[in-house]
Amino acid sequence: MALLEPSGQQGPSTYRAPSESRGAWLALAAEIDPEVARYFLVSARCGCFMQAARSLNIKATLLRKRLAQLEEHLRHALFSYQGNGLVLSRDGLQLQAQLVALAHERRLPVLEQPLIRLAVAEPILHDILGRDLIALLRRNASVRLEIISLDSQLSLQAVDVDVVVWLSDTDGPVPGPSFATEAPRALARLEYLPHIAKRYSRQTTRPDSVDDLNDYMLVQWQPDAQVDALQPWNQVVEQRLAAVVQVQAYSLMLEMIRCGACIGLLPHYMSSFDRGLVALPGLLADSMQRQVWLAVNAQVQHAQAVQMIVELIVSTFEGRREWFG
């Protein structure tokens, strides 16, 4: 089968039928199932079965199977390899031209993807969900997804999205989003602890009291300064007359802890996310905890697409359950 041949080899003799006339190719093109025609045109445009499969949101094996069946039906090889590149054969070019012409006449269906709007608390997006969202995009290049980062209660109140993941200071989901949602779902409870990079502090000399922090630079992500549940740490930072830096970017705070010999407040899972960081328990007398919540807008228009995002989020948290124990 032509689609499965090694690079540089020609197709079987059954594919060496004489080229049909333009009219004959037009007739053949008109008989092709619109979905298969779309598979062929996208593959021709991408020049790569893997990328075409991503664009179509199907498995590459299924794509190759359907195109092989198309070749078998037409009794013509439609693709060939030139080096490492996939190109159309002469017959493939004929078919492409006729399908493009037909597209102008009957407008082959273009499957519009629903736009899903997702809002996520910045630390959760960066530390937990980011990698799996990127993996989703690698698998499905046709997704239409708007991702909004939430860094404060004000930003949470300002959004109107399909799916929202936020942090609360209490056991309940209040304060939550301003729009009506289905029943919120608790995903995890986070304990917050000061963290330091292992390379900047030996285990025997790490600070174990607030007074020991005087020898270290402290860094604070500014949105955390407004969080009531984090007040024990915030008070330490506020009392500083020197050796303190506040930053607006969460990623910058992490880099200052990793590379700047700073101590900063992070969720306790951070040592699992980054093995180079270590928590400093016992520095503060009071426990600092927050809860992660997930909710779906009560008026979503594309329930199936939204459910795909919800399942991804829930699966991600389930897969990292040991982080939150």
Question: pTM of the predicted model, to two decimals?
Answer: 0.71
Q: Where are the domains of the chain?
A: 2-106, 116-324
* Residue 150, pLDDT above cutoff 90: yes
Torsion sign over Cα 93, 97, 102, 104: positive
Q: Which pLDDT score is estimated for 109? A: 55
Domain 116-324 has CATH 3.40.190.290: yes
pLDDT tens, 45-67?
888 888 888 888 888 899 999 99
- Average pLDDT of the residues of the chain: 87
pLDDT of residue 111: 64
Residues 187 and 318 sit within 8 Å (Cβ to Cβ): no
Rounded average pLDDT over 96-102: 83
Q: Which H or E run contains 221? A: strand 217-221
| Phi-psi domain of 155 (left: phi exceeds 0; alpha: psi -120 through 50; beta: other) | alpha
The total of other beta-carbon atoms located within 10 Å of residue 178's CB is 11
| Stronger pLDDT, 103 or 17, i.e. the higher one | 103
Architecture of domain 2-106: Orthogonal Bundle (1.10)
pLDDT at 3 over 60: no
What pLDDT is attached to residue 20?
A: 55
For residue 263, the tally of other CB atoms under 10 A from its CB is 26
What CA–CA distances, in Å, run from 268 to 99, 273, 276?
57, 10, 13
pLDDT at 110: 54
